[in-house]
Amino acid sequence: MEALDAIEREVDSAFAPVRDEQELRATHAKFLGKEGSLTEIMRRMPELAPAEKKTFGQAVNRVKTAVEAASEAAEVRLRQAALARELDREPTDVTMPGRRPRVGRQHPLHRVLYDVTDIFVSMGFDVAEGPESDWETNNFERLGFPPDHPALDMQDTFFLHNEGRPGPRTLLRTHTSTVQIRELLSHPPPVMIVAPGTVFRCDDDATHSPMFAQIEGLVVDEGISLAHLRGTLATFAQRLFGKDVTTRMRGSYFPFTEPSVELDASCSVCGGRDPHCRLCKGSGWLEVAGAGMVDPIVLSNCGIDPEKYTGFAFGLGIDRLAMIRYQVPSIELLYSNDERFLRSL
């Protein structure tokens, strides 16, 4: 019993200096391991008289419990110390840049092109396309451009080397309106398409690029009127510029539409209230699209009865919309492919 008392007195001081797992295990073993002092004592139990056994057994259990409790307390202390050590390490300087995957930039023209296309697709239009090179027939004649007419001067054309081949002259399309012809030749009405694409004009100055992007729209069906054109473009303008935008329609001229109109949207920046507005320059209006009712000659050139079917068409310049959205100071930047420009957007 005395030995037991001595062990009990030893317990707390034995666990107090423990500093790691290994010391903890060793200290525990000192009492309860194979050679442990308490184990030694318990091993002597059978030698005791039955009357002593009970008292002694209770005492051993008490000491054993004390050892286990001290061991557990030490373990908790060790765990907390370890946790504190990990948390108290030198904080990371989080002002250092993050390790980030590189983020690519889609070209601003394509961002706008896809946004515009998506708006029309959500309104029920499907996407059509045609080639960038084409024949004079599809670019001008079938669209009703009169031969030798000044209307041809509206679109300075890049002609291609024909290399002596017979047939109509070849060119780089001057507008996406070529897709009107290709779509109308591909199947009978109803037709409801937008045709985004690259077009070319022999023109290079501060406001013109020899290559630029357009999106064409074409709807041909029975009973289509100018009111449908206006409704379509008004919805488009509201989705692109904001729901408070209003539209106006005014007369214009394109050889392949009759009547021809320009559709303007009220200025989304100043609403027409700022005479020095950076966007509308004080006019209060933004030109959105050149448009009109498909000229009957275009329909009949494609084998469609213009008495039965009517339609509307429109064309939008993507470059100008991109320049408005991103405040691009000059059009040439859009084709500079200067990484500093591309990565600024």
Partner 1 sequence: MNISYQWLSALLGADPGVDKVARLLTDAGLEIEKVREVGANLASVLVAVVESTRPHPTSKNPLTLVTVGLGSQGSLEIVCGAKNVPAPGGRVLFAPVGTTVFTGDPKSPSFVLVEKPVAGIVSKGMLCSEIELDLGSDDSGIIVLDEEIPAGTKLVDVLPGAHDWILEVNVTPNRPDALGHLGVARDVAALLAIPFNGVRAKCVPSRPAREDERVRVESKTAACDRFDAAVLVDATVRRSPLWLRSRLHRLGLRAINNVVDASNYVMLELGQPNHTYDLDVIAERTVIARNAVDGEVLQTLDEKTRTLSAADIVIADAKKPVGLAGVMGGEGSGITDNTKRLLLEAAHFDPSTVRRMAKRHEIHSDASHRFERGVDPTCPPLAIARLKELLVELTGATVVDADVTARGPSELAPSPEVAVRDARVKAVLGIAVSRDEERRILAALGFSLVDEAPERVVVRVPTWRPDVTREIDVIEEIGRVFGLDRVPLAVVPSSGARAGAVRDFSQRRRVRDALVALGLDEAVNYAFDADALFESVGVRATARIANPLSSDRAAMRPTLVAGLLKNASLAVRHGEHKVRLFEVGTVFSARASDDPHANERDATAANEGPLHEETRVAFVLVGPRDSYLGDAGSVDVLDGKGVVEALVESLSRSEVRADREGEAPPWAHRAAFARLSVGDRVLGYVSELHPSMRGAFRLPASTVIAELSLEALTAIRPALRAIRPSKLPSMRRDVALLVARSHPVATVAALLREGAGERCTSVALFDRYVGKELPEGAHSVAFSMEFSPLGDKTLTDAEVDGWVKAAVARVVQDLQAVQR
- Give the count of residues interacting with partner 1 (CB under 8 A): 101
Q: Which of 39, 198, 268, 300 binds partner 1 (CB under 8 A)?
A: 198
The footprint of partner 1 on residues 23-52 (CB under 8 A) is none
For partner 1, which stretch binds (CB under 8 A), given 38-46, 53-61, 64-72, 157-165? 157-165
Contact status: 245 vs partner 1 (CB under 8 A): no
Q: Which stretch binds partner 1 (CB under 8 A): 1-9, 56-64, 94-102, 268-276?
A: 94-102
Rule CB under 8 A: is residue 64 a binding residue for partner 1? no
Rounded Cα distance between 20 and 255, Å, is: 91
Q: Report if residue 94 touches partner 1, rule: CB under 8 A.
A: no
Structure tokens at 246: 């209003």
Q: According to the binding rule CB under 8 A, does residue 101 interact with partner 1? A: yes
Which stretch, 4-12, 65-73, 180-188, 266-274, contacts partner 1 (CB under 8 A)?
A: 180-188
Q: Is 240 in the site for partner 1 (CB under 8 A)?
A: no
- Per this entry, what is the length of the chain? 345
Pseudo-torsion of CA 164, 166, 168, 172, nearest 10°? -40
If binding is defined by CB under 8 A, does position 270 make contact with partner 1? no
Question: By CB under 8 A, which span of 22-30, 85-93, 129-137, 271-279 interacts with partner 1?
Answer: 129-137
d(CA 3, CA 13): 16
**Residue from 204, 273, 308, 344 binding partner 1 (CB under 8 A):** 204
The burial of 170, by beta-carbon neighbours within 10 Å (0-12 exposed, 13-18 middle, 19 or more buried), is given as middle
Min separation Cβ 277 and partner 1, Å: 16
Query: DSSP assignment of 179-236, as one string?
Result: HHHHHHHHSPSPEEEEEEEEEE-S--SSS--SEEEEEEEEEEETT--HHHHHHHHHHH
* Binder among 143, 193, 240, 304 for partner 1 (CB under 8 A): 193
Position 154 contacts partner 1 (CB under 8 A): yes
Min dist. Cβ of residue 256 to partner 1 (A): 12
Per rule CB under 8 A, is residue 160 in the interface with partner 1?
Answer: yes
- Pick the stretch among 10-18, 58-66, 72-80, 103-111 that binds partner 1 (CB under 8 A): 103-111
Range 311-330, binding partner 1 (CB under 8 A): none
Among 253, 251, 228, 238, CA closest to 312: 228
Closest separation between CB of residue 123 and partner 1, Å?
7
Binding partner 1 by CB under 8 A: which of 17, 91, 104, 303?
104
Q: Please give the Cα distance from 234 to 224 (Å, whole number).
A: 16
**Sequence-distant (≥ 6) Cβ neighbours of residue 140 within 8 angstroms:** 152
CA separation for the pair 247, 39 (Å, rounded): 96
Residue where the block lists tokens 């396309």: 129
Closest CA to 191 of 310, 318, 315: 310
* Cα 77 → chain centroid: 51
Please check whether residue 138 is in contact with residue 181, taking contact to mean a CB–CB distance below 8 angstroms: yes
Q: Tokens 């442990």, residue? A: 36
Interacting residues with partner 1 between 291 and 310 (CB under 8 A): 293, 295-296, 310
Determine phi and psi for 151, rounding to 5 degrees. Answer: -60, -25
Q: How far is the CB of 89 from partner 1 (least distance, A)?
A: 19
Using CB under 8 A as the binding rule, whether residue 181 contacts partner 1 is answered as yes
Q: Of these, 2, 88, 93, 153, which contacts partner 1 (CB under 8 A)? A: 153
Q: Among the candidate windows 15-23, 55-63, 68-76, 223-231, which touches partner 1 by CB under 8 A?
A: 223-231
Distance CA 150, CA 193 (A): 29
Which of residues 70 and 233 has its CB atom nearest to partner 1 in the complex? 233
